[in-house]
């Protein structure tokens, strides 16, 4: 059983977002990068399967050398090996196409991406990769169990859940619920030491142009100050919401 988990390094969720070069690029100075939370839920599920059925877990990222510390963290969490595709990608289409080229060289039974990365929120890598690899794909995945070659899955839909079954191989878009927050693995000293010895392979990218190009970033306009209503004046609040905001 081979599992590939696709990892995106993203700014820590508490980060203040700023831009540079005339608002054309994200300012990474002073930003702490973390494993994209959706990817981390997926990685954790993969490690559970590794422990339960002896699956081999490979992590991959498409990015420059600065991404290697995130890959080492994945190895410390328990992944067996890491791959970095040496390209600073411009959009999700490029990422998916690089990953597809890589996947075609190996044989993975389960491929896990995050539902979306919390930085660019493209939400497309899993879907595009699935079509390029002609694999069934389940995004917003909150449950994955194996029964021989059969995969039992659940997908979160608007207002509920959908249960699905498929045959391996499968590609999923992970999110919270696939494992719980408390299941996330904090690397211990032994894991960190072992991670240094685990293989981290750098592969050359294939030629592929991005499908989109970001021209400019902007931050939302400054908000006006909150209008405070006295705790005794509930009618005042209802009046504001009805007549001023027109939302009731």
Partner 1 sequence: MAVVVYLESQKGVVKKTGLEVTSYGRALAENLGVPLIGVGFNLSETKALDSYGINILYNINTSEDLYFNVERYGTTLAGIVTKEKGSIVVVSSSADGRYLGPYVAAKLQAAYLSNVVALPSQYSPLKVERSCFTNKAFNETVSQKDCTILSLASNAYGLKEKHGAVKVRSEVYAEGSNSLKVTAVDLATDKVSIADADIVVSGGRGLKGPENWHLIEDLATVLGAATACSKPVSDMGWRPHSEHVGQTGKPVASNLYIAIGVSGAIQHLAGINASKVKVVINNDPEAPFFKAADYGIVGDAFEVVPKLIEKLKARKY
Site for partner 1 in 78-107 (CB under 8 A): 92-93, 96
Instruction: By CB under 8 A, tell whether 210 contacts partner 1.
Output: yes
Instruction: By CB under 8 A, tell whether 193 contacts partner 1.
Output: no
How many CA atoms within 13 Å lie on the side-chain side of 215?
0
Which residues lie across from 171 on neighbouring strands? 111, 137
- Of 206 and 238, the one with the shorter C-beta distance to partner 1 is 238
Site for partner 1 in 24-53 (CB under 8 A): 37-38
Q: Within 10 A of 93 (CB to CB), how many other CB atoms are there?
A: 18
Q: Which residue has the tokens 């989109």?
A: 212
Q: Which of 6, 189, 220 is nearest to 95 (CA)?
A: 6
The nearest distance, CB 107 to partner 1, in angstroms, is 17
The CA-atom distances, in angstroms, between 33 and each of 143, 182, 192, 198 are 27, 21, 17, 21
Site for partner 1 in 48-77 (CB under 8 A): none
Instruction: By CB under 8 A, tell whether 183 contacts partner 1.
Output: no
Query: How many chain residues touch partner 1 (CB under 8 A)?
Result: 78
Q: Which of the stretches 56-64, 67-75, 135-143, 195-203 binds partner 1 when contact is defined by CB under 8 A?
A: 135-143
């Amino acid at each position: 059983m081979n599992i590939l988990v696709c990892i995106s390094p993203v700014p820590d969720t508490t980060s203040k977002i700023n831009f540079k070069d005339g608002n054309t690029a994200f300012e990474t100075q002073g930003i702490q990068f973390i494993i994209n939370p959706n990817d981390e839920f997926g990685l954790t599920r993969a490690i559970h399967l590794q422990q339960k059925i002896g699956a081999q877990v490979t992590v991959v990222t498409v990015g420059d050398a600065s991404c290697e510390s995130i890959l080492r963290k994945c190895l410390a969490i328990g992944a067996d090996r890491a791959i970095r595709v040496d390209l600073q990608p411009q959009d999700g289409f490029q990422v998916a196409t690089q990953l597809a080229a890589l996947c075609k060289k190996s044989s993975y039974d389960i491929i896990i991406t995050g539902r979306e990365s919390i930085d660019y929120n493209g939400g497309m890598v899993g879907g595009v990769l699935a079509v390029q690899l002609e694999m069934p794909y389940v995004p917003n995945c909150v449950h994955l169990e194996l029964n021989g070659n059969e995969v039992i899955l659940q997908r979160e839909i608007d207002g509920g859940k959908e249960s699905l079954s498929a045959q391996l191989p499968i590609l999923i878009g992970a999110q919270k619920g696939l494992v719980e927050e408390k299941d996330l693995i904090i690397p211990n000293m032994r894991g960190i030491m072992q991670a240094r010895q685990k293989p981290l392979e750098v592969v050359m990218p294939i030629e592929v142009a991005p499908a989109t190009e970001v021209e400019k970033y902007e931050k939302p306009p400054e908000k006006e100050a909150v209008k405070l209503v006295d705790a005794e004046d509930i009618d005042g609040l209802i009046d504001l919401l009805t007549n001023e905001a027109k939302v009731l």
